[in-house]
Amino acid sequence: MAALQVAVERFLSELRGSRNYSAHTCRGYRTDLVHFIARHESLAPSDLSRSHVRAYLAQLQKDEGLARSSLLRRISALRSFARHLRETGALKTDPFLNVPMPKKESRLPKFLTETEMGSLLGASAPAGAPTLRARDRAVLELLYSSGLRRSEVSSLNVADVDFMSGTVRVFGKGSRERIVPVGGEALKCLRDYLKSRGAAPAGAPLFLNARKDRLSDQGVAWLLKRWVRAAGLKPVTPHVFRHSFATHLLDKGCDLRSVQEMLGHKNLATTQIYTHLSLEQLKRVYKQSHPKA
């Protein structure tokens, strides 16, 4: 195994162990760093320089099929790896020093209106086994009810749902724990699914696939795609449910700090993007408050 690849494996081990990064995040780092290693197989970690970073950045920018977000993610992974090399003494200088970085695109997240979300959740379930249909409906209701990431949904265990308090315990990015409210309809669908599935120990996965294994985050995306296609609706991703959750809460007057807590955002600035989407709430306040409205 090449020295650079060995260093990457040590870096990923630190992310999993010392920093408690999720398996999903570590897979992303691995994918992005393997992309860099494939172009510098014989490079020693101590020789990583500014010229390598510049050349890699130029190469990524020439790739017309690569989205700006993907480009920035790959550069971010390499930068974190370079920081790790410096912290462990394997690299003496910062290869990113004075290297101009492309700016992140300022795009508002996509979301569904309340009417569109109602139509999607009210659509007939796709054909399939009753238990899997009950599971799919429970997953979709939970995504919208609590604004969870698909990786958070897939990692839930039966014991994480508290039906008495109407909450769910979630371990988000960096293994940060949070308690999120769950709506009545989502709780009902969860009860129906667990009842159709049969007895399950508290430590068992909440959602199972057709092989009785834990439903993966890719499985969450797949079942949503199948559901939307059967309903004849426009394509959406699990993250659109999360965006819709935050936007609808703010539209109804929920404060930004509470939304931040429920979404599990570390910084309030990450949550503030949703304030740009709450135009209906602004219009209502304007009409109620302005004398010339």
Q: Which residues carry out catalysis?
A: 149, 173, 239, 242, 265, 274
Q: Which residues lie below 8 Å from residue 143, measured CB to CB, with a gap of 6+? A: 150, 153, 220, 224, 238, 241, 242, 245
**Three-state DSSP class for residue 168:** strand
Helices (H), the chain: 3-17, 23-37, 50-62, 68-87, 114-121, 130-146, 150-154, 184-197, 217-231, 238-251, 256-263, 268-272, 279-289
Looking at this protein, which amino acid is placed at residue 293? A
Using CB atoms within 10 A of its CB, is residue 79 exposed (0-12), middle (13-18) or buried (19+)?
A: middle
The torsion angle over the Cα atoms of residues 154, 171, 144 and 146, rounded to 10 degrees, is: 140
Asked if 168 contacts 162 with a C-beta cutoff of 8 angstroms, the reply is: yes
What is residue 234's DSSP assignment?
P
Q: Given CA atoms 263, 267, 268, 274 in this order, what sign does their dihedral have?
A: negative
**Could you tell me the CA-to-CA distances from 255 to 31, 38, 154, 205 in Å, in that order?**
37, 47, 28, 33
Q: What is the DSSP string of 202-232?
A: TTSBSSB-TTSSBPPHHHHHHHHHHHHHHHT
> CA gyration radius for the chain?
22
